[in-house]
Chains A and B, each alone.
Chain A
């Protein structure tokens, strides 16, 4: 094995270990802030895997979008909803954990079997290597132009939808009559609407 291959192998193994350990910690740790930071580590390691696969543009996009936007968004959400609450115990929690772990292990076994037994069409065409970024640009502006434009519309819709969902304001004046709205409504806007009533 050449020294290049060995280096690549060592990088892959380290990144894979970080991905697996980070994701396991992310779903298992009880403190959700630690989980969010571990998730950022997993995203960075996945970006490193993309670099190993000669995809520098997607690696940069991964760091910018996942670590820079989604992870920060998750941290903000944690800060906004961070209330220490003692979760109510539910029946059969252990049974549920064990059954779902069994299902996931079965899925894993199925996927591993597929990966190992399928005769992949290898080796494929020679990889383009560093030209990948230019090739992605060509794809985006020729044969993938429609999905590219649709993605921008999707992002716009998601942005407007997120704003509409996340804000809750009561108009101070009635739109139709111009009169001052019911003051009680404005005060109520800071109280939860759907709390369960004490059962009468």
Chain B
């Protein structure tokens, strides 16, 4: 079961790295007070998911590589998300003149 130490880098090594990266992204997402940094944390989490997909595609699905196709789609959606997110951030900044997440409470009960 734990013989993956011998033949590093194995599937498990990539999955562990992706898990660590995802957790760092979640922590940054919760704790950032700058709205731009929140978007950067989201990109980190998307990259962690992509590493997972690529590792599975290479080690478990070696002949069909469906994971790589999924990763391409994830990259596409990430680009769209970044563009729209930064546009929202820009218009929010013009209206509130701050990027502090604690000040964005327009929709809060």
Query: Footprint of B on A, CB under 8 Å?
Result: 5, 8-9, 12-13, 16, 19-20, 23-24, 26-27, 32, 35-36, 39, 42-43, 46, 49-50, 52-55, 57-58, 61-62, 65-66, 69-70, 73-74, 76-78, 80-81, 83, 85, 87-88, 90, 96-97, 100-101, 103-105, 107-108, 111-112, 115-117, 119-128, 132, 135-136, 139-140, 144, 147, 151, 154-155, 157-159, 161-163, 165-166, 168, 192-195
Contacts and interface: CB of A to CB of B under 8 A. Distances in A.
A77 B89 contact: yes
Interface residues of B, number: 82
Contacts of A163: 87
Given A36-B40, A126-B62, 11 more contacts: A32-B34, A61-B72, A65-B78, A77-B90, A100-B27, A105-B23, A111-B19, A125-B61, A125-B63, A127-B59, A192-B96
Contacts of B44: 23, 26-27, 39, 42
A80 B90 contact: yes
Contacts of B13: 12, 16
5 contacts: A70-B43, A80-B90, A103-B26, A120-B60, A157-B80
Q: Is the interface of A mostly helix, strand, loop or mixed?
A: helix
A60 B65 CA distance: 16
B105 to A, nearest CB: 10
B41 to A, nearest CB: 6
A55 B37 contact: no
Interface in B8-32: 8-17, 19-28, 30-32
